[in-house]
Chains A and B, each alone.
Chain A
Amino acid sequence: MAKSNEPIWWSLFSAGGVIAAFLVPIHIFLTGIAWPLGWVAGDTLDYAKMQALLSHPIARLYCFVLISLPLFHWAHRFRFTLVDLGLRGVNTLLAVLCYGAAIVGTVVTARVLWTL
């Protein structure tokens, strides 16, 4: 059998799926719904508070994992969704574009969190 790098992408997909399942809903709810609608204290997202929270290395590491792994989850699902929709002929190109986007996203995330 030809050597395959699928296991790497599948592991990242799987890990990203776990992170997305357990942590993304509460984040969307807090920053995108509860805070804008005034269900939580108005100063929850204040600049100084967020700065203080993210000054801790563990909080930054958490954000890195929270953003990066689900991007690989997206890449894997989106790639195969497009293949299922009939783009089988450009499967390799799709793989490069999708995983490539996730890698770029990971690098940018690391940079942003580093300079924070």
Chain B
Amino acid sequence: MKPYVRPMSGAWWLHRGSYLLFMLREISSVFIGVYLVMFLVMLNRLSQGPAAYDEFIAGLKSPLAILFHLVALAFALLHTLTWFHLTPKAMAVWSGEERVPAALIIAPNYVAWVVLSGVVAWFVLGG
């Protein structure tokens, strides 16, 4: 037996703000992926020697590259925020009979995010 699939327009996600936000959240993974592939290219250039590497990082200063990174950062932040706010939905924490409030599950994510970002920055900036 073949299940019935209701025909749906490919533009359904434009019909409501929450659908659009959902779609932007899903698309964030594309920008994160493209950034990481570029990071991989950077590491590959590093393995090819100073000339190849310097050429790559000079390209990071082009206006187009900076624009891409600004857009990618906006999508990455959208992913971070939506991911943190999903945690209480994905994980129900109970304290005795009481369910731990969502805010108490979300907040530690922000703390960990700030700490981890600081650690990465410390290493990269040569602390």
Q: Is the CB of A26 within 8 A of B53?
A: no
Q: Is the CB–CB distance between B26 and A81 below 8 Å?
A: yes
In the bound assembly, the distance between CA atoms of A83 and B73 in angstroms comes to 26
Give a binary string over A29-42; 1 marks a CB under 8 Å from any B CB, 0 the rest.
11111011100110
For A51, the chain B residues whose CB sits under 8 A away are 46
- Residues of chain B within 8 A (CB-CB) of A33 are 66, 69-70, 73
B23 contacts A81, C-beta separation under 8 Å: yes
**Mask for A7-23, Cβ within 8 A of B = 1, else 0?**
00000000001101111
The yes or no answer to B117 lying at the interface (CB within 8 A) is yes
Residue pair B79, A21 in contact (C-beta under 8 Å)? yes
* Pair A32/B32 contact, Cβ less than 8 Å: no
**A112 in contact with B32 (CB, 8 Å):** no
Contact A63 B43 (CB under 8 A): yes
Contact A86 B8 (CB under 8 A): yes
Q: Report the nearest B residue to A32, measured CB to CB.
A: B69
- Measured between alpha carbons, how far is A20 from B26 in the docked complex, in Å? 13
Instruction: Report whether over half of chain A's contact residues are helix, strand or loop; otherwise say mixed.
Output: helix
Q: How many residues of A contact B (CB 8 A)?
A: 52
Q: Could you say which of A30, A37, A47, A108 has the most chain B C-beta atoms within 10 Å of its C-beta?
A: A47
Judge whether A44 and B124 touch: CB under 8 Å: yes
Q: What are 24 sample pairs from A and B whose C-beta atoms fall under 8 A apart?
A: A18-B83, A20-B32, A21-B79, A24-B32, A24-B35, A24-B76, A30-B121, A31-B39, A32-B68, A33-B73, A36-B61, A47-B54, A50-B46, A51-B46, A53-B124, A67-B40, A70-B32, A70-B33, A70-B36, A77-B29, A78-B30, A81-B26, A86-B10, A112-B40
Residues of B whose CB lies within 8 Å of any CB of A are 5, 8, 10, 13, 23, 26-27, 29-30, 32-33, 35-37, 39-40, 42-44, 46-47, 50, 53-54, 57, 60-61, 65-66, 68-70, 72-73, 76-77, 79-80, 83-84, 109, 112-113, 116-117, 120-121, 123-126
